[in-house]
Amino acid sequence: MEIEFWWLLALPLFFALGWLAARIDIRQVVHESRALPRSYLNGLNFLLNEQPDKAIDEFVEAVRIDPQTVELHFALGSLFRRRGETDRAIRMHQLLVDREDITEEQRLQALGELGQDYLKAGLLDRAEAVFLRLRGTRANDVALRYLLEIYQQEKDWGKAIDVAAALPDHESLHWRTEVANFHCELAAQALANSRFDEVGKHVDAALATNRRCVRASLIQGDVLVAQGKDEAALEVWKRIESQDPVYLALVAERVMNAYGRLGLIEQGHQLLHAWLEQHPSLDLLDELFHWEIDKLGPKAAYDLVREELRRNPTLLGLDKLLEAALLTASPEQRGDIELIKQLIHGHTRKVARYRCDACGFKARQFHWRCPACGGWETYPPRRTEEFDLTP
């Protein structure tokens, strides 16, 4: 009973202490809210009422009244950049960089934001200068990634290779794929100027970085053809089947031309047939289809597409079948076939595009690098209809 009596005495004391603490907290909150510019509170109110333009004006006024609001400077600068007002974002972050009363961590953050502003505005030289200042600091890794993006936009592939090698995860498959393509870009430039020794150096570097680099094999074969070595080129291009058979369609025309120059058309024809049977591809079918129309006639092309349709039914294949049928049809049948072909063709236009695996962007033309997300080798040479039919 004595213990319960003391508890009864302690309860009012605890209650009084809690009330006192709450009063202190409330006074602190009220004091801090009064210390904030009224425009800051007005800005919050506009945000809550979904009036972002008025909110921004109030926040800008709050920054003018109280320059010490560093975090508000950062928030406004980022908001301006997202809205496309890069000139205002640059001014906001430049003010922070020039201030002497902020911490070194805040200065680095402001420099990083300023570099992103310049990058968004397309001022690549200024962005590069900012991110180079961040090399060797705590923001080094972030600076490297932005520098890599800048050098890719400028097509300065040599610098891009150097920066990629400095990344902490440069041995990953993702970066090996990118660096191999940087070497391929340099190889393509050298090939255009007939600097074959330089092409070979970059192709070797690409394959050493990523032995599955199909693009390097394509270029290597092109160099051999330019040097009159068709047999050696064919051996290089055949290697693509083991690297990634999805890309065989890109080399099909090169293969047939090389076999033609060697006087071995039938061997080339058999090779493409074997590839199509083992690795079905609408682009590969299209290449073989047009070759058979030119060399063997519409009947052979019709039989080819009909057989392929039985194995892999597609609208694009049906469109090819109708194209061959038109060439062999009688005048009475031609009108009906043409009508059906027009109806089918309207649908095939929607499924005859390439699609980026990374972002889903679609294009009628094949790209080694996605125009939307910038990913390398994310555009497999397969039409969207083939993706839809994949189990």
Residue 292: phi and psi, rounded to 5, are -70, -35
Is residue 353 within 8 A of residue 362, CB to CB? The reply is: yes
Coil, strand or helix: which one is 363? strand
The alpha carbon of 161 is separated from its chain's Cα centroid by a whole number of angstroms, namely 18
Q: How many CA atoms lie within 13 A of 164 on its CB side?
A: 24
To the question of whether residue 184 is assigned a binding role by annotation, the answer is: no
To the question of whether residue 213 is assigned a binding role by annotation, the answer is: no
At 298, list the tokens: 């519409």
Residue 37: phi and psi, rounded to 5, are -60, 145
Distant-in-sequence, close-in-space partners of 48: CB < 8 Å, separation ≥ 6: none
To the question of whether residue 373 is assigned a binding role by annotation, the answer is: yes
Angle at alpha carbon of residue 289, lines to 284 and 292, rounded to 5°: 130
Long-range contacts of 200-207 (CB under 8 A, 24+ apart): 206/180, 206/181, 207/180
Q: How far apart are CA 35 and CA 279, in angstroms?
A: 71
The alpha carbon of 341 is separated from its chain's Cα centroid by a whole number of angstroms, namely 35
Is residue 46 within 8 A of residue 55, CB to CB? The reply is: yes
Among candidate residues 327, 257, 313, 307, the one with its CA nearest the CA of residue 287: 257
Is residue 298 within 8 A of residue 328, CB to CB? The reply is: yes
Q: How far apart are CA 285 and CA 199, in angstroms?
A: 31
Other CB atoms within 10 Å distance of the CB of residue 101: 8
Is residue 188 within 8 A of residue 197, CB to CB? The reply is: no
DSSP, res 246: G
Q: Which residues are annotated as a binding site for Fe cation?
A: 356, 359, 370, 373
Binding residues: 356, 359, 370, 373
